[in-house]
Amino acid sequence: MISDLRQASTFDIDIHTLLPADSPRFALDQAHVRALAESETEFPPILVHRATLRVIDGMHRVRAAELRAMDTIGARWFEGDEQAAFLLAVESNTRHGLPLSSDERKQAALRILRAHPHWSDRSIAERTGWSATGVGALRRDIADPDARPEARVGRDGRIRPSTTAEGRRVAAEVIRQNPAASLREIARRAGISVGTARDVRHRLADGRSAVPDGRRTGAAAAGPGAPAPPVPDERPAGRRGGPDLDRRVTLF
């Protein structure tokens, strides 16, 4: 997305018309603002949400331009909705410039998790710089059960079971429907590793449950006669590629 925006036309915008960013940052680094203002660097264009005139990426540059007594600054428009604007602000601030603090990354992950509970822990972690383990812990702490869906969408748009146990149950159903399916095909459809798919096949061949006792929950815990869940629809849900980012950029 960011690489696409860099191809957008640039224009000068009146600094006084801009609104503060809906940003993952708790506060601007005033020392960095002064350093930018005192430098002879020509600022790269900022990114502005067209619907609200909020700065998505570039508040330090805006404040530095004000210290230089500038009335305008180069900008590019972003046309998406407010949620998409916040996501872009998080990705922009995570990938270049001054790093976000641990608390800032955590709060950004929590906000995205509440807005997009169907996204995988790893997908949210990649967007925020917060660990996938940390996102999982945040998810468990949220009281709303909708924050823990049985299947989640990764950055590649594929739907995968949220636990290994669920993936094992899906793999077992794939094997029942098509005993000749290859391990790679089983793993792909169930969202598990080839090694796990092999273990599921061996367990079923031995007459055991696809899910080891220590991992059995829900339908699996009900015993061998419990119905297996359907194989999830593999069509991408909201396919979205990862950002193509220039990590050398340090101004924001």
- pLDDT tens across 55-100, in order? 999 999 999 999 999 999 999 999 989 989 999 999 888 877 678 8
Domain-ending residue, one of 66, 100, 134: 100
Assess if residue 248 is contained within a domain: no
Identify whether residues 71 and 106 lie together within a single domain.
Answer: no
Among the listed residues 122, 186, 190, 133, the one whose alpha carbon sits nearest the alpha carbon of residue 156: 122
Tell me which residue range forms the domain holding 135: 102-149
Identify whether residues 145 and 157 lie together within a single domain.
Answer: no
Assess if residue 96 is contained within a domain: yes
Assess if residue 250 is contained within a domain: no
Q: pTM score, two decimals? A: 0.55
Assess if residue 252 is contained within a domain: no
**pLDDT tens digit string along 139-189?**
888 756 555 555 555 556 565 555 667 778 888 999 999 999 999 999 888
Assess if residue 246 is contained within a domain: no
* Three-state secondary-structure class, residue 75: strand
Assess if residue 249 is contained within a domain: no
Domain-ending residue, one of 149, 170, 188: 149
Identify whether residues 78 and 3 lie together within a single domain.
Answer: yes
Report in angstroms the alpha-carbon separations of 58 from 32, 53, 77, 161, 211. 12, 13, 12, 38, 50
Identify whether residues 213 and 237 lie together within a single domain.
Answer: yes
